[in-house]
Structure 1
Amino acid sequence: MLHGRDVERARLAALVDGARQGRAGTLALHGDPGTGKTALLDDLAEACHGVTVLRTQGIESESPLAFASLHRLLRPLLPRLDHIPAPQAGALDLAFGRQDGDAVDPFLVAVATLSLVTEAAEHQPVLAMVDDAHWLDAASADVLLFTARRLDADQVVLLFSVRDGQGTSFSHPGVPSLLIRELDDASARAVVEDHLDAGAKDSVTTDRVLRQAGGNPLALVELSTALTSDQLQGAEPLPVTAAMERVFLDRARRLPERVQRFLLIVAADDSGRVATVRRAAEILAIPDRAFAEAEASGLMLRAGDTLRVRHPLVRSALYQAAPTSLRGDVHRALAAALEGVGEPDRQVWHDAFGADGPDAAIAARLDGAGVRSERRGGHAAAADFFERAAELSPAADLRAERRFSAARNAWAASLTARARSLVTAARGEADDPSLLADIDRLRGRIEVNVGSAATAHRIFVSAAVAAVDTTPARALDLAVAAAGLAAYGGDSGIRLDPAIVIRPGGDPDDSRARTLHDLLLAMTAASQHQWPQAVERLRDAAQGAVDGDADLLAHLGQAAVHLGDDTTAGHAFAAMLGTGRQSGAGMTVLYALPRQAFPLFLSGQWSAVRRSADEAHRLSTSVGQPALSATPLAWLALLAALRGEDVAPDLRAELDEVVEHHPLGILAAPTADLIRWADGARAAQAGAAEVAIHHVTQMRVPALTRMAAIDRITAAVHADQPEQATEWLGELVPFAQGTRWPWALGAVEHARALLSPQAAAPAHFEQSLTHYVNAARPFDLARTHLAYGQHLRRAQHRVDARLHLRRALESFEDLRAAPLSAVAARELRAAGETARTRDVSTLVQLTPMELQVAQLVSQGMSNKEVAAHCWVSPRTVGFHLRNCFAKTGVSSRGELAQLSLG
């Protein structure tokens, strides 16, 4: 019986009831060791009927074995793998070592887990419980947290138990938590009464137990049964963890030595298999009767062919108290016991624990385990294997190579500080030119993402020069990365002559190298304001890009945004996004979505921008990468400003928190500029010209200052700062004349109209419109119609003014740019025409997820296909689709396809 846990039990039961009704539930139970988290999970599992119960446990010594805990959880569902998409099923088979093959993306493993669990829940509700989550291997933890955050309208409950304190950690943002506190006095007293021997049930003994245990259920039980009255007297209460470890250790030390050694094997073992432990005991010449004696002690529990210690504190007490030499003997025995059972990674990890110093043979086996873990997508585990391999490697060159491998995998696992430390150590020992180039590329990537973009630029330039003679292909990659950084606020001031890294007479069949050549020349020409040459080289690069090469598409798209080539940028990022979706590469999708927003925004596809930004925000939350939500949130803020919508307070608070507390690297500058643009637009709408100019003056990224050119120059004119407007126009003119982009030429003429004498303005407006007709930038075109209409109305040319104001109003309404729609309507009325504005209250207001589902369904996708595209369950798709039908008033997919949604 669980005393004093009625509230907690009711909370858990409610989650299961909700799941039966199609509302998924997640919860992390956390608290001090021994507070009864596991007991609550046991109680819930026993109480649930008609539910598929899945269970796993984090094991401290198992942390370097990728997906070990996840494998235990999903093992009962693996026969259903053929019910989920084949690429996802294959990812799980590879992750669990059931098949060999190419490297698997860990994101695809996470998506597959979500699909498998929710598919099982279509037949019967699923209760998945993860005990000791703080000791999960990192790969399992990432997958399970992703699953928890993506569950929605599913018959699934996912529970974690997490130990607080003592250096353990299990960060679970996005997952609700429940603190399991100590028992109240009455409940604690009831526990003691249940467990004290009849002869010891007196108030003095009870009070002593209560004083020592402090309301901790495990301590109450163990102290009631394990300590004598004399032991309970006197001293102040110890911290519960220390007290319980002392109790367990004291119990163990009362046992014969053979039993203590057997229990140490169980504590050091991470397989949980009876056969492995007994074989290790045999190797150490421990008598077979020690098994039964250990079980009888109550410190070891057996269930079928599995063994475990009674509580994690038993493991820590026994293991930490054992001499180092004895622990080494035990690990070597466990390694020997695993010989021939098909678990080389587990075996070599025990051998590594037993190593007394450098050992080339063990290091080589650890390296092999690292390679296998990396191929399975277990990057954190791979980092552990490679790092330990480096520590045991006698040769400096192998130490450097293995430390770099550890750093690369630590970075892939988002272990930033560890990756930095490892790559720095690797560079100190490396002397191979190819390895040095790879090390510097990783150093630069880390700086790009979480450090100084200028520092990254400096690293890339120096590394490119150093690699020219020995690894020219790497030198070219590094040079292109440096050129891209310089365009987005990461210029260190060091110049790299492209001639140094571009070798004449390269392989004519190497299209990737040719594309990189062209990109480098394009970005170098742009940095020197040689715009015609830059555009020409960009066009050449676009001809050679391959859709499946995500890295190359990223370089091409970024260069196209910088040079104002909307078409190339749109194609590059759309291809990159398609590549990521098709392969299940979640980070590629997460990278592409906010960048695709640039061409989508400029081409007037604002609802698509909203969908992309919202999906990127949800995805960054799901994968536990809050820094990657900054740019999507900034896009949402800009759209809300231009549409006159309030930003949800929680989203703006999240944006501010991310910008302030998370390193954004190269994303910092464009994110800040989007926010400044949004704040400037809101100020301009409120008539606060001085505030508007303050915000837009701080914009720094050239691509964004050119995108916002009309806003910035208009703000300067309204703030009575013609000198500032003229300066910005002067920066735009050579770009427009050099690139000959119609949108840039249109912006120049628009600005000239604002700065010209009244009589000269119409000619510039007419020229601007002529250019914008050939540019797919409807917002800027509408801005020009509005400004021209305002000018004509003030000049008393009302009939001509109405034509332009009417076109502006129509475009703004199409974009749902309510503030400027209101301005255009007001100007139309002043020009003598009754403006027929659309009633925005009649527009269908769908959530971003509903919009995405509606759009994909309208393209003819089934619920399963939409689910695979969005990385949610089919049931969740059905839930959002029903909401779409209810809000739009339609009842079929065909009718939905006829609607204009956004």
Structure 2
Amino acid sequence: MTMDRRRRSTGHGEDENVVLLGRDAERAVFDRMLAAVDTGESRVLVVHGAPGVGKSALLRYAEHAAAGMQILSAVGVESEMELAYATLHQLCAPLLSRLEQLPGPQRAALETVFGIRAGDPPERFLVGLAVLTLLSSSSEEHPLLCVIDDAQWVDQASLQVLGFVARRLLAESVAIVFGVRERPKELFGLAELEITGLRDADAHTLLDSVTHGRLDRQVRDRIVTETRGNPLALLELPHGLTVTQMAGGFGLLRADTLPGRIERSFLTRISALSEPARLLLLIAAAEPVGDPVLVWGAADRLGLTPKETLAEGVQEWLSLDAHVAFRHPLVRSAVYRSASSVDRRAAHLALAEVTDPQADPDRRAWHRASATASPDESVAAELERSADRAQARGGLAAAAAFLQRCAALTEDTSRRAERSVAAAEATLQAGDLDVARRFAEVADRAAQNELQHVRAQLIRSRIIFAAGLNQEAPPLLLRAAQRLEPFDMDLARETYLVAWGAAALLAVHSDSLRTISEAARALPARAGAPRAVDLVLEGCALLVTEGRAAAMPVLQQALAALSNPSANDALIWVWVANGISAAVWDEQAMRVLVGRVVEQARAAGALAELPFSLTSLGIAISWTGDFTATDVIVTEIKDVCAATGVPIAPHVELRLSALRGRAAEAEALIAATTEEAGASGQLMGVTVAHWAAAVLYNGLGRYEQALAAAEVCTQMAELWVSVWALPELIEAAVRADDTDVARAALQDLTEATAPSGTDWALGVLARSRALVSKDGAENLYCEAIERLGRTELRPELARAHLLYGEWLRRGRRRGEAREQLRTAYEMFVSIGMEAFAERARGELVATGERIGNRTIEASSGEELTAQERQIALLVRDGLTNPEIGTRLFLSPRTVEWHLRKVFAKLSITSRRQLGDVLPPSEHASTPQ
């Protein structure tokens, strides 16, 4: 790779207009990318390869070739990796004037993370959606090229957001190009271009161009082989070796040492500079934003003059114009790493002194910390304040870094214990469990009183719980809760609930769960009105110690408290809240509560939590038989999981396939879920899988298999889904002539449902009692139909009609049976429950009625892709393109692109026509 010396002005300082040797294929990739963006498409490319191989030069080529495009650029800086959103701010700074055009929540998110306003921490993916909207809006005026070089040094928050944005681009005139040594996990799955060394012929040409004098052919071949055609290594080689060494081939190193060899070559040449020039380079290496005012201000602090002479002395390495930029990133790292600790501290101190404490307090604090070799309370306090701001901006990793350094610089032992707990807490939230554990141990060793020891134990217990479901976590959390009681009873109660939840999720937990429940019951009454979390804890503890009848009144109060929109603090316990609504058999409260949580998560862009809330909502809506809405939720769960890279068990998809009666699809999901959940001790997953199997096989009339699945499910100690499986067990046992099992299950179902008094509970109980009853079955079936008819649980109502019809037919009351079976059949067909519909059709035929084997018809949108269908349904329900984009984490332009394809496939021309060609849905866009 050779470069001419013609310069052009760019958005980030002076750069060189490059002529690339031997890179025709790579240039063609960039040319095609830019051509596609010019036509309104989006492109993403991750350019990766070893240091010195030419990635940066190719990125500069892309910028030069992007004639007429807007160019946004950013460079990762190693010393800035702990500052959340630092690189994102670099990239988006030229677009900040457009923030007013963003929807309110998105604008607030970006203003918060960029320090323009104070506010609560925005979710990482809401920030991503805001950046996506910002880039999409900007590209409507001119196509946009975003270049992020040295992505291996981009802060984690920025990299996660940029990876999210890159995966959501589709129909925008935007290209994003990353230059990186090795692809980080945040960029996996994106289009990539690996840059390797030059071909031998090109490498020989480049070597010849920088070699003064002839080289023996064998020596030249060896040089090319050992450098593996690395362009920078070939260019730097003459600077690192004498003429005789070159001629003799001495002193060459293996290719795997090239980065170090190139850096040493740089340092050899830099060492010839004057001491002030070297110190100026160090200041520039320590200053991450490339601000010449800061660099020269720090230089003045250290007495580096005259400016003109210094600038001339470093111009081979550093551009000091409108933006400070190193000619090659390895120069920055070489200069910084090779400097003495004394010089590095001096450079950081000078930079801290010239950094505005009002405009950039966090970077100033970081410079001060880097300049400090021993404990210093003033620096530690400043870091502590910066950690609060980093947390407010959503930078959990940055907050953890500030708090870790804060704790290390704290001299007072008691205060170090407090700050180490805070560091462990932030580090746990950032996901670095090993480091969090170390700081928890530091906190315990430094603790000066019992409360500090307790707080250290609590965070250690939470770290163990976060590390995975295991038998160790519940007793540790219980002990932490007990030790907290004398100091903070509210926190103690919350910790008891965490311990209870940890025990409830484990496959073998009955002893721990009872112990925790008994300890919670023994707590003194809370002064004042109970909080939602207090009621949840009391109800859950009663559920284990006294049974459902005793727990039901408290659980109903807890559910009412959780349903209050002002109970935001309780929404942390969504899984418990959903369990409570199941325990009290209140299907409407279940949909309202979980639906509100989902809407809040969508509005906040909380993609990390959203799949779990969507799973609860999908299960809740599946009870209503609205498979269209449930399908939309399944698609959204998959979209969100794809965006975050975090998989989730397919509980909703499994439930849906079982209700539909699609044996092959359902059995595959059941087997996979059972295996994965069983291997990881996820009791809930195993229970859901067996519950789905019981539903599937009852629909198919394979009662022995349904009985086996339901027995496994109900014999588990899980507290929620196993109860839902009891009606399946009763039906399967009756049909398999196992009345003893049916009667025992009915007793369990009675204890679980009777105390609630809801139509759902009593309707299912009446239907199940009718199956077992010898006398009075008809009245019970009629009661079940009446009660379930007052709910929105259409599948349960249809099954009541089916069972009543089957009972009537067996009693030779064919006319009445036909009426019930026909109702059941029509309901099953309209819902989409194929297996149960076929079962009802078979019963109808047995009554002598002639009925065709109706296939459940596909909707008009069957030919649509899952995402197209999802968008079409949301448009039909009245959502605008921006609203859909916010929900699905797409830009409005991408939504419009999908919608045009929907119109073409359905042969319609307007949004209004979607209501005529798509099936009705009561829950597609807004939970009830």
Does the alignment reach a TM-score above 0.5?
yes
Amino acid at match of 1:327: R
Q: Report the counterpart of residue 549 of structure 2 in structure 1.
A: 532
1:557 and 2:575 aligned = no
Amino acid at match of 1:503: A
- Whether contact under 8 Å (1:196, 1:224) holds in the other structure is yes
- For each residue in 1:690-735, what CA deviation from the matched residue of structure 2 results, as whole angstroms up to 9, or x when unmatched? 6555544443433112223333444556667655545433422211
Name whichever of 801-810 and 588-597 sits farther off: 588-597
- Whether contact under 8 Å (2:298, 2:354) holds in the other structure is yes
- 1:321 & 1:707 partners in 2: Cα distance? 66
Q: CA deviation at 1:806?
A: 1.8
- 2:675 & 2:424 partners in 1: Cα distance? 25
1:322 and 2:344 aligned = no
- 2:828 & 2:659 partners in 1: Cα distance? 10
Q: CA deviation at 1:104?
A: 3.7
Q: Report the counterpart of residue 122 of structure 1 in structure 2.
A: 140
Name whichever of 578-587 and 354-363 sits farther off: 578-587
Q: Report the counterpart of residue 574 of structure 1 in structure 2.
A: 595
- Residues 886 and 818 of structure 1: CA distance in aligned 2, closer, same or farther (over 3 Å): farther
Q: Secondary structure at the match of 1:100?
A: coil
- Whether contact under 8 Å (1:476, 1:502) holds in the other structure is no
Q: CA deviation at 1:388?
A: 0.2
Q: Report the counterpart of residue 925 of structure 2 in structure 1.
A: none
Q: Which of these residues, 494, 497, 510, is aligned with residue 477 of structure 1?
A: 494
Q: Which of these residues, 285, 292, 299, is aligned with residue 267 of structure 1?
A: 285
- 2:677 & 2:578 partners in 1: Cα distance? 28
Q: Which of these residues, 14, 17, 39, is aligned with residue 35 of structure 2?
A: 17
1:515 and 2:532 aligned = yes
TM-score (norm 2): 0.86
- Whether contact under 8 Å (2:802, 2:824) holds in the other structure is yes
- Residues 448 and 197 of structure 1: CA distance in aligned 2, closer, same or farther (over 3 Å): closer
- 1:601 & 1:623 partners in 2: Cα distance? 25
- 1:724 & 1:158 partners in 2: Cα distance? 62
Q: Which of these residues, 605, 611, 627, is aligned with residue 632 of structure 2?
A: 611
Q: Report the counterpart of residue 779 of structure 1 in structure 2.
A: 795
- 2:670 & 2:623 partners in 1: Cα distance? 27
- Residues 657 and 638 of structure 1: CA distance in aligned 2, closer, same or farther (over 3 Å): closer
- 2:21 & 2:672 partners in 1: Cα distance? 44
Determine what percentage of the aligned residue pairs are the same residue: 31
- For each residue in 1:487-546, what CA deviation from the matched residue of structure 2 results, as whole angstroms up to 9, or x when unmatched? 554662323344543536x335xxxx3433332332222223532343322332344443
1:849 and 2:867 aligned = yes
1:23-62 to 2 correspondence within 5 Å?
Answer: 23-62=41-80
Q: CA deviation at 1:387?
A: 0.5
1:427-446 to 2 correspondence within 5 Å?
Answer: 427-430=444-447, 446=463
- For each residue in 1:6-36, what CA deviation from the matched residue of structure 2 results, as whole angstroms up to 9, or x when unmatched? 3333333333333344432223222222222
Q: Secondary structure at the match of 1:800?
A: helix
- 2:671 & 2:83 partners in 1: Cα distance? 34
Name whichever of 442-451 and 862-871 sits farther off: 442-451
- Whether contact under 8 Å (1:630, 1:671) holds in the other structure is no
Amino acid at match of 1:522: G
TM-score (norm 1): 0.89
Q: Which of these residues, 569, 586, 595, is aligned with residue 616 of structure 2?
A: 595
- 2:699 & 2:559 partners in 1: Cα distance? 39
- Whether contact under 8 Å (2:70, 2:143) holds in the other structure is yes
- Residues 517 and 365 of structure 1: CA distance in aligned 2, closer, same or farther (over 3 Å): closer
- Residues 295 and 583 of structure 1: CA distance in aligned 2, closer, same or farther (over 3 Å): same
- Whether contact under 8 Å (2:239, 2:269) holds in the other structure is no
Q: Report the counterpart of residue 458 of structure 1 in structure 2.
A: 475
- Whether contact under 8 Å (2:47, 2:193) holds in the other structure is yes
1:192-203 to 2 correspondence within 5 Å?
Answer: 192-193=207-208, 195-197=209-211, 199-200=213-214, 203=217
- 1:137 & 1:703 partners in 2: Cα distance? 42
- For each residue in 1:196-245, what CA deviation from the matched residue of structure 2 results, as whole angstroms up to 9, or x when unmatched? 24644763553243023112232233225654443341355242223222
Q: Secondary structure at the match of 1:860?
A: coil
- 1:621 & 1:400 partners in 2: Cα distance? 40
Amino acid at match of 2:593: A
- Residues 613 and 303 of structure 1: CA distance in aligned 2, closer, same or farther (over 3 Å): farther
CA RMSD of aligned residues (A): 3.5
Q: Which of these residues, 295, 314, 329, is aligned with residue 295 of structure 1?
A: 314
Q: Report the counterpart of residue 756 of structure 2 in structure 1.
A: 739
1:703-852 to 2 correspondence within 5 Å?
Answer: 703-716=720-733, 724-754=741-771, 765-766=781-782, 768-793=784-809, 796-835=812-851, 837=854, 839-841=856-858, 843-845=860-862, 846-852=864-870
- Whether contact under 8 Å (1:713, 1:729) holds in the other structure is yes
- Residues 748 and 271 of structure 1: CA distance in aligned 2, closer, same or farther (over 3 Å): same
Q: CA deviation at 1:82?
A: 1.2
- For each residue in 1:804-848, what CA deviation from the matched residue of structure 2 results, as whole angstroms up to 9, or x when unmatched? 222222222232122222332333233332335355245422444
- Whether contact under 8 Å (1:29, 1:177) holds in the other structure is yes
- For each residue in 1:64-111, what CA deviation from the matched residue of structure 2 results, as whole angstroms up to 9, or x when unmatched? 222111011001111111111133222212211223344444333222
Name whichever of 50-59 and 575-584 sits farther off: 575-584
- Whether contact under 8 Å (1:245, 1:314) holds in the other structure is yes
- For each residue in 1:656-690, what CA deviation from the matched residue of structure 2 results, as whole angstroms up to 9, or x when unmatched? 79947997x9xx33233333444555566777666
Name whichever of 117-126 and 275-284 sits farther off: 275-284
Q: Report the counterpart of residue 81 of structure 1 in structure 2.
A: 99
Q: CA deviation at 1:873?
A: 0.9
- 1:428 & 1:780 partners in 2: Cα distance? 58
- Residues 897 and 534 of structure 1: CA distance in aligned 2, closer, same or farther (over 3 Å): farther
Q: Size of the alignment, in residue pairs?
A: 882
Can you give the 5+ residue segments of structure 1 that lack an aligned partner in the other structure? none
1:96-495 to 2 correspondence within 5 Å?
Answer: 96-164=114-182, 169-193=184-208, 195-197=209-211, 199-200=213-214, 203-204=217-218, 206-223=220-237, 227-232=241-246, 233-234=249-250, 235=252, 237-239=254-256, 240-288=258-306, 291-296=310-315, 298=316, 300-302=317-319, 304-338=321-355, 342-430=359-447, 446-447=463-464, 449-452=466-469, 455-485=472-502, 487-489=504-506, 492-493=512-513, 494-495=515-516
1:668-679 to 2 correspondence within 5 Å?
Answer: 668-679=682-693
Q: CA deviation at 1:381?
A: 0.8
- Whether contact under 8 Å (1:62, 1:68) holds in the other structure is yes
- Residues 747 and 674 of structure 1: CA distance in aligned 2, closer, same or farther (over 3 Å): same
Q: Secondary structure at the match of 1:610?
A: helix
- 1:605 & 1:439 partners in 2: Cα distance? 48
- For each residue in 1:82-141, what CA deviation from the matched residue of structure 2 results, as whole angstroms up to 9, or x when unmatched? 111133222212211223344444333222111111111222222212111111112211
Q: Report the counterpart of residue 875 of structure 1 in structure 2.
A: 893
- Whether contact under 8 Å (1:487, 1:527) holds in the other structure is no
- 2:28 & 2:586 partners in 1: Cα distance? 59
- Whether contact under 8 Å (1:28, 1:160) holds in the other structure is yes
- Residues 430 and 697 of structure 1: CA distance in aligned 2, closer, same or farther (over 3 Å): farther
Q: Report the counterpart of residue 6 of structure 2 in structure 1.
A: none
Q: Report the counterpart of residue 501 of structure 1 in structure 2.
A: 523
- Whether contact under 8 Å (2:559, 2:580) holds in the other structure is no
Q: Secondary structure at the match of 1:158?
A: strand
- Residues 448 and 237 of structure 1: CA distance in aligned 2, closer, same or farther (over 3 Å): closer
- Residues 221 and 879 of structure 1: CA distance in aligned 2, closer, same or farther (over 3 Å): same
Q: Secondary structure at the match of 2:298?
A: helix
- Whether contact under 8 Å (1:30, 1:179) holds in the other structure is yes
Q: Secondary structure at the match of 2:653?
A: helix
Q: CA deviation at 1:192?
A: 2.8
